[in-house]
Amino acid sequence: MSKPKRYENPEKYDVAVIGGGHAGIEAALAAARLGMRTVIFTINLDAVGNMPCNPSIGGTGKGHLVRELDALGGEMGKVADKTSIQTRMLNRGKGAAVFSLRAQINRRAYQNKMKQVLEKTPLLDLRQAEIIAVERSKKGGYRVVTMLGAVFSCKAVIIATGTYLKGKCFVGEVSYEGGPDGMFAANSLSASLKKLGIPLRRFKTGTPCRINRSTVDLSAMERQEGDSEPEAFSFETKKQPKNISDCYITYTNPETHAIIMENLDRSPLYAGKIEGVGPRYCPSIEDKVVRFADRDRHQLFVEPMGEDTDEMYLQGMSSSLPEEVQLRMVRSVKGLENAVFMRTGYAIEYDCTDPMELLPTLEFKNIPLIYGAGQFNGTSGYEEAAAQGLVAGVNAALKIKGEEPMILTRENSYIGTLIDDLVTCGTNEPYRMMTSRSEYRLTLRQDNADERLSPIGYRVGLLPKARYKRFCEKYKAVEAEEKRLKRTVLPPSAELRALMEKAGTAPATTGMTLAELLRRPELNYKLLTEFDKSRPSLAKEVWEEAVIRIRYEGYISRQNSQIAQAKKAENLRIPDSIDYDDVYGLRIEARTKLKKVRPVSIGQASRIPGVNPADITLLLIYLKKRADTRPNSSICDPEIEK
């Protein structure tokens, strides 16, 4: 590439966002909505909000992230509700703590609506340009340089490059530089980031082929319909989403597996051509066949890409095998015998950073006002990316304003869990959110995401006053209904006994409160309607929340006690100036890990792999002594003094 002649662009910005994917979108919107003059750069405007892999949003654990994002003032949930073509609540057979909403999305409609949101947001400019350099400005702040030579001045930079950074695609023996969906890769930026002091490494992900619906025998597959009463991601969505498309399930078979094994030497993954680390929880089909050799079939989901296209996504068959091998293995599957490819599956390898170099605000520890978000931080998934984008955008704006940062914690959100996992423990593979990642699942439910996070969204300035008022009114109604259910007694009657026997639960012999009845899993709010004469007219979200509180009251109370204990450790702040070499008796491993992570609190320090309780005790003793000798220093903390 010839070196362009540089020129200073007259526009001056507070925040520059590099990347127009899900992380970049939320980062740019958050910064602009908090009053920052913001610019978001994307290699191609047609790739804004693209879903280069599965055409869906949400899923186990991920649905929680979208609800939390919405509660804070993010955009993903709103646009997903407007463009969904099928909605399902996963894990209905389990407890409310792991209910997770998943929506099949009209992929192009989502992109168009999200692009329009960016275009219409005040203080936000959307530009098609490849950023080839980020440089420190002699006047303070940063300069971002485009491939065409334009130089933009800004105070903060958010890097949300997704899989574009030195992207390299693999299909069998063929490899080429490129981003997802045939886009250009960002090949020049990596060298500039390294020069700034940002460490980079290689991760990889993959995607399956896309096939033409008209060549698929859907009648040979299991039909998967949406919920009869679809639910929305956004707490602000009042119009119920519609289910207008079905998904389908089919399976691989021994013939499929034989084709894969016969051609394993042609897989770039097994031939050693791919150096990047792939996601363990979303492996390629060749990886699944090798790792689970005892299984004679694997489930495949055939999913529509939208209502206005015949393109279908083959979830569960991600592959980087040669094209002709992919075609043979797809056509060995029931219902896909005549499938015609529209896009071939591929693996993509890309540069990303080590998230342990980041603070919980997602700012680099040693590079002020440079933030990372999304797959650049070592995660996978649209939802994980969007959540990090919002956090980075908010914190960039708050720091420029000179205000306190927004730090979400494990105790109040899955977003906090995600970020704490990344910055405290790091990741050696693309990180994926799952409900099992959180030790506080009972309180971090998707139904109460607004209760947990809307006050924070309002405090930082993302939630408008009118929305916050509606939130307050909702939970006032929830509390009133919870109290009413606990005090309203139903006397024993033949009708009530008959209902309970029919539901399969022991009949009441004495008067019981509605709350006592609702704690029985066989009964529910609707079943008791005719016996509940004082029931007010309430929105579904209100009475459902009241019922969940009642059913899980004992468990929630126990978990709240655990959270209170954890908060004590989180409130014990560790000063930035601490020298771990001064902490007498600290083991070498603990000292090394603490120096690398530089935890902001005792709680975070205790979660670092290689730091044990004895190390924490020594650290507490050191902090107390230091506080005693320097009573005016910032490390004096009431908890330490105890």
CATH number at residue 511: 1.10.10.1800
Query: Bridge-partner residues for 300, per DSSP?
Result: 250
**Domain CATH for 242:** 2.40.30.260
Q: What gap in Å lies between CA 89 and CA 533, rounded to an integer?
A: 31
DSSP structure class, residue 570:
H
* Residue-wise burial string across 429-467, b where 16 or more C-beta atoms lie within 10 A, e elsewhere: ebbbbbbebbebbbbbbbbbbbbbbbbbbbebbbbeeeb
Q: 416 lies in a domain? A: yes
Res. 495: pLDDT tops 60 = yes
Last-in-domain residue among 431, 458, 485: 458
Q: What gap in Å lies between CA 128 and CA 18, rounded to an integer?
A: 10
Res. 538: pLDDT tops 90 = yes
Q: Is 259 exposed, middle or buried (0-12, 13-18, 19+ CB in 10 A)?
A: buried
Last-in-domain residue among 513, 531, 556: 556
Check if the beta carbon of residue 47 is closer than 8 Å to that of residue 181.
yes
Taking Cα atoms as reference points, which of 602, 576, 621 lies closest to residue 629? Answer: 621
Q: 562 lies in a domain? A: no
493 vs 429, 490, 521, 530, 576, CA distance in Å? 60, 9, 20, 13, 67
Question: Tokens at residue 28, please?
Answer: 């740019």
Q: Which of 28-32, 116-120, 565-569 has the lowest mean pLDDT?
A: 565-569
> Per-residue DSSP letters for 490-520?
EPP-HHHHHHHHHHTSPPPSS-EEHHHHHTS
Q: Give the model's confidence band at 568: pLDDT under 50 very low, under 70 low, under 90 confident, else very high.
A: confident
Q: What gap in Å lies between CA 439 and CA 316, rounded to an integer?
A: 29
- Residues 435 and 322 both lie in one domain: no
Mean pLDDT value of segment 469-498? 96
Q: 478 lies in a domain? A: yes
Angle of the 449-460 helix axis to the 465-487 helix axis, nearest 10: 150
**Domain CATH for 428:** 3.50.50.60
Residue 413 DSSP SS3: coil
H helical segments located in 317-448: 323-331, 382-401, 414-420
- Residues 395 and 521 both lie in one domain: no
Q: 561 lies in a domain? A: no
- Residues 33 and 119 both lie in one domain: yes
Mind spelling out the 3-state secondary structure of 126-185? Answer: EEECCEEEEEECCCCCEEEEECCCEEEEEEEEEECCCCCECCEEEECCEEEECCHHHCCC
- Residues 425 and 543 both lie in one domain: no
pLDDT of residue 94: 87
Res. 626: pLDDT tops 90 = no
Q: 84 lies in a domain? A: yes
Q: 563 lies in a domain? A: no
Res. 641: pLDDT tops 70 = no
Check if the beta carbon of residue 585 is closer than 8 Å to that of residue 615.
no
552 vs 99, 101, 239, 507, CA distance in Å? 14, 20, 29, 22
Res. 630: pLDDT tops 70 = no
- Residues 293 and 144 both lie in one domain: no
Res. 197: pLDDT tops 90 = yes
- Phi/psi for 86 (5° steps) reads -160, 135
98-115 pLDDT, tens digit each: 999 999 999 999 999 999
Residue type, 263: N
What mean pLDDT, rounded, does the chain reach? 93
Domain span at residue 331 reads 210-349
Q: 585 lies in a domain? A: yes
Last-in-domain residue among 286, 320, 349: 349
Check if the beta carbon of residue 330 is closer than 8 Å to that of residue 209.
yes
pLDDT of residue 366: 94
Taking Cα atoms as reference points, which of 248, 242, 245 lies closest to residue 309? Answer: 245
Q: What gap in Å lies between CA 358 and CA 354, rounded to an integer?
A: 8
Res. 348: pLDDT tops 80 = yes
- Residues 331 and 252 both lie in one domain: yes
pLDDT of residue 387: 98
Q: What gap in Å lies between CA 107 and CA 104, rounded to an integer?
A: 9
pLDDT of residue 283: 82
Taking Cα atoms as reference points, which of 436, 439, 384, 375 lies closest to residue 415? Answer: 384
The percent of residues above 70 in pLDDT, for the chain, comes to 97
Res. 455: pLDDT tops 70 = yes
Q: Into how many domains does the chain fold?
A: 4
**Domain CATH for 611:** 1.10.150.570
467-480 pLDDT, tens digit each: 999 999 999 999 99
Taking Cα atoms as reference points, which of 530, 532, 497, 500 lies closest to residue 515? Answer: 532
Q: Give the model's confidence band at 281: pLDDT under 50 very low, under 70 low, under 90 confident, else very high.
A: low
pLDDT of residue 631: 38
Check if the beta carbon of residue 443 is closer than 8 Å to that of residue 559.
yes
- Residues 503 and 604 both lie in one domain: no
170-190 pLDDT, tens digit each: 999 999 999 999 999 999 999
The percent of residues above 90 in pLDDT, for the chain, comes to 88
Strands 370-372 and 150-159: parallel
Q: Which one has a higher pLDDT value, 70 or 576?
A: 70
CB atoms within 10 A of CB 296: 12
- Residues 538 and 581 both lie in one domain: no
- Residues 517 and 441 both lie in one domain: no
Q: What is the dihedral of CA 604, 609, 611, 616, to 10 degrees?
A: 30
Q: Give the model's confidence band at 95: pLDDT under 50 very low, under 70 low, under 90 confident, else very high.
A: confident
- Residues 315 and 370 both lie in one domain: no
pLDDT of residue 637: 36
- Residues 169 and 48 both lie in one domain: yes
pLDDT of residue 634: 37
pLDDT of residue 139: 85
Question: Tokens at residue 571, please?
Answer: 């409130």
DSSP structure class, residue 355:
G
- Residues 121 and 264 both lie in one domain: no
Q: 234 lies in a domain? A: yes
Mean pLDDT value of segment 59-74? 97
Question: Tokens at residue 286, please?
Answer: 């060749």
383-418 pLDDT, tens digit each: 999 999 999 999 999 999 999 999 999 999 999 999
